Chains A and B, each alone.
Chain A
């Protein structure tokens, strides 16, 4: 029982990070139909920039803030320099552009940072807390609370503010959005900026647990993509549920079967979901009135 609880807790922790990456996919996908495979690199930038800024002597909160800003700048540049000039290109072309951008960002990160693994100190100690026989690291609580706050904040933004609703409107109907006076280019840039900020925050929260390096983005992007697909691409609830589900399955797979298959679990989950419910768990059956 305690082993089960232990695996569940560690699955939830890593799942929360996948959920944040999936949410980044969802935001950009909704606003622009682009599946942004550079999403994982925002996670890397968050963790790595914080590590190096702290090494330069900055306190953690300031380093984290600057790291998030750095990721946002990269996100905005990605939109401005790579996506916007290709406006009107097919989704496949745009996906290839983001894969290229991801490779480019990793290359630059190797030079700006280095090729070593790094870690951040845990935010509030590393004495495990005992819950029903399972041990949970305080940092895991940071991850879970951070993910919850980010989801809640994004939900509030999208459903309660006019700017957030304008973003939803742009996703729902771009032509109509332009006709009511919404600057669609600004909305797309905002989606990239928000996604980058969320990815970077996830990267900072999880760096004390999982280590970070210039190339960790690829795996996060794949897991986050799996989570978004399982939940239904385009659905924020789907991103949350898909992320947690992938995290938990991965953790159980590693614990009960073999840790060698840990990464295979996510992809098995995508295949299963695509066979059984091709639109994902929360995917919309696109209803069109004629």
Chain B
């Protein structure tokens, strides 16, 4: 599904990703954990094509995509729900969702809307409201729902639990597992490493732009070094 080889990226002259390599298969939740500034968000942005890549290869669905522009990556099924609730504030909740399906066949849009509303009923209730009027948690649901509207094969989820109540975090992580069970691949970036690894199949630990550990999620969870550094145990 996704294979990243020696990916390097920089902001100006400061390198933030050093030779990152990772791979993931279909029906897999892969968690990327690491502290603030480790390069997790930059990695997802590079995968989506909104952050320039200096060198390295990104293979998606068997094809090289590192020079494919961002909007066409979405069309191929590589879709991101960005960090920090990047919603379209002045547009209605429903318009936000419909724009999520910008690259999708028109006839599938209504069905997609129904699925998102079933997953997050509060969004259906507030469908006509301007998105900037939603609470933080609702905006987060909207960002995830909007990404799902694009019918991703691979969903990049950046900090989906940020600022949410524990109840909502559980609800969103359960939804992620459900999506995996329905055949979607999910690359999950989380500060909350223990929650992410608990639902993930495999994980990568990022530190200052380098992959320092990787392996089965359960093994990482019980690795003393990972425990100490990232799980706060």
Query: Which residues from chain A sit less than 8 Å from chain B, CB to CB?
Result: 162, 165-166, 168-169, 172-173, 175-184, 287, 289
A189 to chain B, nearest CB (A): 14
Which chain B residues in 5-48 approach chain A with CB under 8 Å? 48
Whether B102 pairs with A162 at a CB distance below 8 angstroms is: yes
Whether B70 pairs with A168 at a CB distance below 8 angstroms is: no
A184 to chain B, nearest CB (A): 8
Q: Choose one: B70, B139, B147, B150; the contact of A178 (CB below 8 Å).
A: B70
A162-B102, A165-B99, A181-B102 known; A176-B87 Cβ under 8 A? yes
B154 to chain A, nearest CB (A): 13
Inside 8 A of A183's CB, which chain B residues have their CB? Answer: 69, 71
Among B69, B74, B102, the most chain A Cβ lie within 10 Å of the Cβ of B102
Inside 8 A of B103's CB, which chain A residues have their CB? Answer: 180-181
> CA–CA, A172 to B98, complex, Å?
15
Whether B75 pairs with A181 at a CB distance below 8 angstroms is: yes
> CA–CA, A187 to B5, complex, Å?
33
> CA–CA, A176 to B136, complex, Å?
16
Inside 8 A of A172's CB, which chain B residues have their CB? Answer: 88-91
Q: Choose one: A173, A175, A180; the contact of B74 (CB below 8 Å).
A: A180
B41 to chain A, nearest CB (A): 11
Whether B139 pairs with A289 at a CB distance below 8 angstroms is: yes
Query: Which residues from chain B sit less than 8 Å from chain A, CB to CB?
Result: 48-50, 69-72, 74-75, 79-80, 82, 85-91, 95-96, 98-100, 102-103, 132, 136, 139, 146-147, 150
> CA–CA, A177 to B87, complex, Å?
9
**Assuming A172-B89, A176-B86, what are 7 further A-B pairs, CB within 8 angstroms?**
A166-B99, A168-B88, A178-B48, A178-B70, A181-B70, A184-B71, A289-B85
A149 to chain B, nearest CB (A): 24
Whether B102 pairs with A178 at a CB distance below 8 angstroms is: no
Q: Which B residue's beta carbon lies closest to that of A287? A: B132
Inside 8 A of B86's CB, which chain A residues have their CB? Answer: 173, 175-176, 179
26 A-B interface contacts by CB (under 8 A): A162-B99, A162-B102, A165-B95, A166-B102, A168-B90, A168-B91, A169-B91, A169-B96, A172-B88, A175-B82, A176-B82, A178-B50, A178-B71, A179-B48, A179-B80, A179-B86, A180-B99, A180-B147, A181-B70, A181-B72, A181-B74, A181-B103, A181-B150, A289-B132, A289-B136, A289-B139
Q: Which B residue's beta carbon lies closest to that of A186? A: B71
Among A173, A183, A184, the most chain B Cβ lie within 10 Å of the Cβ of A173
> CA–CA, A10 to B24, complex, Å?
68
A175-B82, A287-B132, A289-B139 known; A181-B71 Cβ under 8 A? yes
SS class, residues of chain A in contact with chain B? helix
Inside 8 A of A178's CB, which chain B residues have their CB? Answer: 48-50, 70-71
Inside 8 A of B71's CB, which chain A residues have their CB? Answer: 178, 181-184
A181 to chain B, nearest CB (A): 3
Inside 8 A of B82's CB, which chain A residues have their CB? Answer: 175-176, 179
B127 to chain A, nearest CB (A): 14
Q: Choose one: B49, B69, B88, B95; the contact of A176 (CB below 8 Å).
A: B88
Q: Which A residue's beta carbon lies closest to that of B104? A: A181
> CA–CA, A169 to B87, complex, Å?
9
> CA–CA, A289 to B100, complex, Å?
21
Among A162, A168, A289, the most chain B Cβ lie within 10 Å of the Cβ of A289
> CA–CA, A184 to B72, complex, Å?
12
> CA–CA, A133 to B152, complex, Å?
66
Inside 8 A of A168's CB, which chain B residues have their CB? Answer: 88, 90-91
Inside 8 A of B136's CB, which chain A residues have their CB? Answer: 289
